[in-house]
């Protein structure tokens, strides 16, 4: 156990970075997901095409490839962000595509009559989305959104490959000194599991609070 | 939701996805860096033949050296040596995409050991991360680890080390136009790029406690990051830096190596017999000049001067 306890500050720093990255990215991905899902159901064909393109491109490329491209290829054309920011942008964009599909599924559960009624009483497209469709649609997919957030948490470990010292990289660095991979990565794994359990509990709670009783 | 949603046909969305992927791949190709960079830096033409000649002349163990029930006998029966190593380390162990052969100092030594035990240079390389080497050896998933495995007292409590078979050191590289950094001591207060899971991660804070460290997964990424101003310097093994500087005119190596890294061959900790066998083999190839020939054909292609004197077997704490 000494291998873990002797390096608590390094591992703690990594854990904090992982949590920060997860929180920032979840917020970004959620906003992006709502926007892209809206694009995909909008009445304008061009916007629908943009939404579809976004989802298909980002879902069908590996996250690690996207990260490496963003961090190393963009500076070639003069665009460069700090590493943490780069990782946050890429993971948010990537998970945003998955969230968009989950949210779109939620929107599709809302009865057609609801949208028709909303338009009939004079709400605009965006008003009907904001007041009628999204509030009901999002409630229906809280659990899938929670699952995507857990996947997002696990995916933050890929930021280690582009120089962000989060929990996985911190564990790597500790292991480099201590040479006890099983102990150290079990410890890091338990920390990830704990975070995932917290997300899972939170989404469970939200779902019970907000579930639509039909 | 038909008021809001007019779904695309499946065929059309597939075509869109294919188009988008083509665009994305095109972008990847553009980001691929300098096309004139050779795939295998520092590898002289005909290096493969040179190694073949060395392998043909290499010694084979007598039956007396391989007692029944030993690890060596198991390897001889199997007909190939299974090692843990890398396939992406230039000059040390890098798979040639054309021939499929793994080339470099570590890889060639592994072939020599395979020949010594089985009579033919058959090596199966299991690519392992630096974080799983101890576990792989303890589980006997591999016979030995050839992966610039620095001998440290902490690691020696988990695995046994034969060797050291090579001594190298960490050095500093900077961008060509940089004159502010002349040695490792000048790194204080600077942002320094290191390879993730390399000895530099722990060695840098000892020479430059105030340096800010950024780690990248692979050597080409770290070089790219240095050239893109993500850090002021790049700390890495001297020979790797030398080969990197040869392929990338935008960077240069400054000063002498500031650490001494003894590399050992990782072996299961319980297997004292195999460790002694490997140590005897190392002494043999050092004495007959094979070691120097392999060095010259691999690392020697980017470092000027003759092959260095090989390290004394067992000379390091932990070996």
Identify the sign of the CA torsion B42, B45, B50, B55.
positive
Structural tokens at position A11: 């591992």
pLDDT digits (tens, 9 = 90+) for B20-49: 444 444 444 444 344 444 444 444 444 567
The chain B residue lying nearest A84, using CA atoms, is: B214
CATH number corresponding to B170-254 = 3.40.190.10
Q: Does A213 touch chain B (CB under 8 A)?
A: no
Q: How many CB atoms sit inside 10 A of residue B237's CB?
A: 26
Q: State the CATH class of domain B47-168+262-301.
A: alpha beta
Q: CATH number for the A2-210 domain, one of 1.10.3720.10, 1.10.238.10, 3.40.50.2020, 3.40.50.300?
A: 1.10.3720.10
List B residues 189-218 in contact with A (Cβ-Cβ < 8 A). Answer: 193, 196-199, 201-202, 214-217
The pLDDT assigned to A152 comes to 96
- Residues B190 and B211 sit within 8 Å (Cβ to Cβ): yes
A202–chain B nearest CA distance, Å: 30
pLDDT digits (tens, 9 = 90+) for A75-111: 888 888 999 999 999 999 999 999 999 999 999 999 8
Domain ranges of chain B: 47-168+262-301, 170-254
Cα separation, B300 vs B305, in Å, equals: 8
Cα separation, B269 vs B155, in Å, equals: 10
Instruction: With cut-offs at 50, 70 and 90, classify the pLDDT of residue B196.
Output: confident
The pLDDT assigned to B154 comes to 85
H-only helix segments in chain A: 2-5, 8-41, 45-59, 63-68, 83-109, 112-120, 125-128, 134-140, 142-155, 167-178, 181-210
Whether this model's pTM surpasses 0.80? no
Q: Does A13 touch chain B (CB under 8 A)?
A: no
- Among the listed residues A112, A127, A138, the one whose alpha carbon sits nearest the alpha carbon of residue A212: A138
pLDDT at A3 > cutoff 80: no
Domain ranges of chain A: 2-210
A47–chain B nearest CA distance, Å: 11
Nearest to A177 among B2, B154, B196 (CB): B154
pLDDT digits (tens, 9 = 90+) for A68-84: 999 999 888 888 899 99
Nearest to A181 among B1, B132, B193 (CB): B132
A201–chain B nearest CA distance, Å: 32
Nearest to B158 among A125, A161, A180 (CB): A180
- Among the listed residues A198, A28, A19, A202, the one whose alpha carbon sits nearest the alpha carbon of residue A100: A28
Averaged pLDDT score across all residues of chain A: 92
Q: Residue B182 gets which letter from DSSP?
A: -
**Global ipTM:** 0.73
B247–chain A nearest CA distance, Å: 18
List B residues 60-89 in contact with A (Cβ-Cβ < 8 A). Answer: none
Task: Considering only residues A180 and A146, tell me which one the structure prediction assigns the higher pLDDT.
Answer: A146
Task: Decide whether B47-168+262-301 matches B170-254 in CATH topology.
Answer: yes
């Amino acid at each position: 156990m000494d291998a873990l306890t002797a390096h608590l500050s390094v591992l703690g720093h990594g854990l904090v970075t992982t949590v920060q990255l997860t929180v920032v990215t979840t917020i970004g991905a959620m906003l992006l997901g709502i926007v892209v899902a809206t694009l995909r159901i909008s009445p304008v064909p061009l916007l629908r095409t943009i939404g579809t393109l976004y989802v298909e491109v980002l879902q069908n490329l590996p996250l690690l490839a996207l990260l490496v491209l963003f961090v190393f290829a963009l500076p070639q054309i003069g665009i460069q962000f700090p590493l943490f920011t780069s990782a946050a942008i890429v993971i948010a964009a990537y998970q945003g595509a998955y969230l968009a599909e989950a949210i779109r599924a939620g929107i599709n559960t809302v009865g057609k009559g609801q949208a028709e009624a909303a338009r009939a009483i004079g709400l605009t497209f965006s008003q009907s989305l904001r007041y009628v469709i999204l509030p009901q649609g999002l409630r229906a997919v809280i659990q899938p959104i929670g699952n995507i957030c857990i996947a997002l948490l696990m995916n933050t470990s890929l930021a280690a490959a582009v120089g962000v010292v989060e929990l996985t990289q911190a564990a790597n660095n500790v292991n480099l000194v201590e040479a006890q991979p099983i102990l150290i990565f079990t410890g890091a794994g338990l920390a990830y599991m704990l975070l995932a359990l917290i997300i899972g509990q939170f989404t469970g709670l939200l779902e019970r609070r907000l579930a639509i009783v039909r | 939701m038909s008021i809001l949603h007019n779904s695309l046909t499946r065929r059309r969305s597939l075509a869109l996805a294919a188009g988008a992927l083509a665009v994305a791949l095109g972008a990847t190709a553009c980001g691929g860096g300098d096309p004139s960079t050779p795939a295998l830096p520092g590898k002289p033409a005909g290096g493969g033949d040179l190694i073949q000649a060395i392998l043909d002349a290499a010694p084979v163990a007598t039956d007396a050296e391989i007692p029944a029930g030993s690890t060596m006998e198991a390897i001889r029966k199997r007909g190939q040596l299974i090692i843990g190593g890398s396939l992406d380390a230039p000059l040390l162990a890098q798979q040639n995409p054309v021939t499929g052969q793994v080339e470099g100092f570590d890889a060639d030594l592994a072939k020599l050991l395979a020949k010594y035990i089985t009579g033919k240079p058959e090596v199966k390389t299991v690519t392992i991360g630096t974080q799983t080497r101890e576990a792989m050896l303890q589980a006997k998933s591999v016979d030995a680890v050839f992966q610039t495995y620095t001998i440290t007292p902490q690691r020696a409590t988990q695995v046994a080390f034969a060797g050291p078979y090579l001594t190298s050191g960490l050095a500093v590289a900077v961008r060509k136009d940089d004159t502010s950094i002349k040695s490792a001591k000048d790194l204080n207060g600077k942002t320094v790029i290191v390879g993730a899971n390399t000895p530099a991660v722990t060695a840098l804070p000892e020479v430059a406690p105030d340096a800010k460290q950024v780690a990248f997964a692979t050597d080409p990424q770290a070089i790219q990051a240095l050239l893109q101003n993500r850090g002021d310097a790049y700390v890495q093994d001297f020979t790797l830096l030398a080969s990197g500087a040869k392929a990338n005119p935008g960077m240069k190596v400054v000063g002498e190596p500031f650490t001494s890294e003894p590399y050992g061959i990782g072996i299961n900790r319980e297997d004292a017999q195999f460790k002694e066998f490997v140590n005897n083999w190392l002494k043999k190839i050092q004495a007959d000049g094979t070691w120097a020939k392999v060095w010259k054909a691999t690392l020697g292609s980017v470092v000027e001067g003759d092959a260095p004197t090989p390290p004394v077997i067992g000379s390091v704490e932990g070996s």
